[in-house]
């Protein structure tokens, strides 16, 4: 078993990574729970048939009372409507401050369940059990929880750290190829922004099988990078912003297609590519880096570009949480493994995007 400690002052927790860890859920959670705690497993209709019973049985075997709440799947579940639904389920089942939520699923469930935990009764414990590659390497780590509004993604949220993250690498076997590729976008991002040797390792992998042959080390590397960044900047005041590489414009693609046509990783892959082209236009990103990012995303079946109107870009940029007044701080990559922040006036950025769109 791989154990990574996240030493955030006052909110320290461990990430455990192991094949088959799901069946040890009760054992690993028991000592973290209050003696009279009930556990609420929040999951979705796709994950529940595969893993909910295993988690529930493991908890029951340790004498832990548990209930399962099953939600629809997809980004539209991460909404105020379903958040209220979760609140109602919890209150109907007499939730108390001694209880705990387990988020069993991908990023949508992790974000929604985590935000419910952060806000119900002013905060109860929660544990992450991520079941997608994207959630295992990114969204389950760092304590950002949120729901979407019709006007944009993650606009209602909090920083709220889990008590534990249980990462079972075997669950990735049930992911379809598209979801696995989507997770690879975030994996690639870590190499782009922080770790050139890691990027170089990924660049010689040709397919899913190559990644899975070293999957626990891949997950460990990504989580270690994020842990290092988050420990230094929990509330995203500075360094943590590097994790948003590709996201400002990636969110534009998700919003433009109403979160239906492209999954998160596909949008982020295209967002990283256009950010690299923007950096090149500004004289910040070298041409080799632009090509390497394009090549690696396409190797893993991810889009290097997505059609988007300037109006949709304007809408996403104006809602970006990194916006300050009339400017947006873009995360740019001068070369693989290095980042810079560049504040750009929103109107100027739209003009640069228009030029970048012409580069394929």
Q: What pLDDT score does 41 carry?
A: 98
Q: What pLDDT score does 239 carry?
A: 85
Tokens of 61: 């075997």
CB contact at 8 A, 192 and 337: yes
- What predicted TM-score, i.e. pTM, was given to this entire model? 0.89
Catalytic residues, by residue number, are 122, 144, 186, 226, 236, 240, 244, 247, 251, 264
Residue carrying structure tokens 């995203």: 236
- Helix axis angle, 287-299 relative to 264-281, nearest 10°? 170
Q: For the chain, what is the largest distance between any 2 Cα atoms, rounded to a whole number of angstroms?
A: 61
Q: What pLDDT score does 317 carry?
A: 78
Contacts of 84 by beta carbon, 8 Å cutoff, 6+ apart: none
Q: What pLDDT score does 322 carry?
A: 58
CB contact at 8 A, 334 and 286: yes
CA-based R_g, the chain, Å: 20
Q: What pLDDT score does 72 carry?
A: 96
User: Tens of pLDDT along 288-342?
Assistant: 999 999 999 999 999 999 988 888 888 877 776 555 667 888 999 999 999 999 9
- Spans in the chain with pLDDT lower than 70: 320-325, 360
Alpha-carbon span 188 to 147, nearest angstrom: 25
Ranges of each domain in the chain: 2-174, 177-357
CATH among 3.40.50.10470, 1.10.10.410, 1.20.1090.10, 1.10.3720.10 for 177-357: 1.20.1090.10
Q: How many helices (H) and strands (E) does the chain have?
A: 14, 12
Residue carrying structure tokens 């548990």: 66
The domain defined by 2-174 folds into: Rossmann fold (3.40.50)
Alpha-carbon span 137 to 184, nearest angstrom: 9
């Amino acid at each position: 078993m791989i154990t990574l400690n996240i030493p955030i002052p006052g909110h320290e927790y461990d990430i455990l990574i192991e094949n088959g860890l799901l069946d040890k859920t009760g054992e690993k959670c028991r000592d973290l729970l209050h003696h009279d705690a009930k556990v609420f497993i929040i999951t979705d209709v796709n994950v529940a048939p595969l893993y909910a019973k295993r988690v529930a049985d493991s908890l029951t075997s340790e004498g832990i009372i548990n209930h399962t709440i099953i939600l629809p799947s997809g980004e539209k579940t991460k909404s105020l409507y379903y958040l209220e639904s979760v609140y109602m389920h919890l209150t109907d089942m007499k939730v108390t401050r001694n209880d705990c939520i387990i988020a069993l699923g991908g990023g949508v469930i992790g974000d929604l369940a985590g935000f419910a935990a952060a806000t119900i009764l002013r905060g109860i414990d929660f544990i992450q059990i991520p079941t997608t590659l994207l959630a295992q390497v990114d969204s389950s780590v760092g304590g950002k929880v949120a729901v979407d509004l019709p006007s944009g993604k993650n606009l209602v949220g909090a920083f709220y750290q889990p008590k534990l993250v249980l990462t079972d690498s075997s669950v990735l076997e049930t992911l379809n190829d598209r979801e696995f590729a989507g997770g690879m976008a975030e994996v690639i991002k870590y190499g782009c922004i922080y770790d050139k040797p890691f990027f170089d390792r990924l660049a010689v992998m040709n397919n899913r099988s190559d990644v899975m042959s070293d999957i626990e080390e891949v997950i460990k590397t990504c989580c270690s990078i994020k842990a290092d960044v988050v420990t230094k900047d929990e509330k995203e005041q500075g360094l943590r912003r590097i994790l948003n590489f590709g996201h400002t414009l990636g969110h534009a693609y998700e919003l433009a297609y109403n979160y239906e046509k492209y999954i998160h990783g596909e949008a982020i892959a295209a967002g990283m590519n256009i950010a690299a082209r923007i950096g090149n236009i500004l004289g910040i990103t070298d041409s080799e880096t632009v090509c390497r990012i394009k090549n690696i995303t396409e190797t893993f079946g991810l889009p290097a570009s997505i059609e988007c109107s300037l109006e949709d870009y304007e809408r996403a940029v104006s809602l970006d949480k990194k916006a300050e007044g009339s400017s947006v701080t873009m995360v740019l990559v001068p070369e693989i493994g290095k980042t810079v922040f560049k504040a750009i006036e929103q109107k100027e950025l739209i003009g640069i995007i228009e030029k970048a769109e012409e580069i394929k």
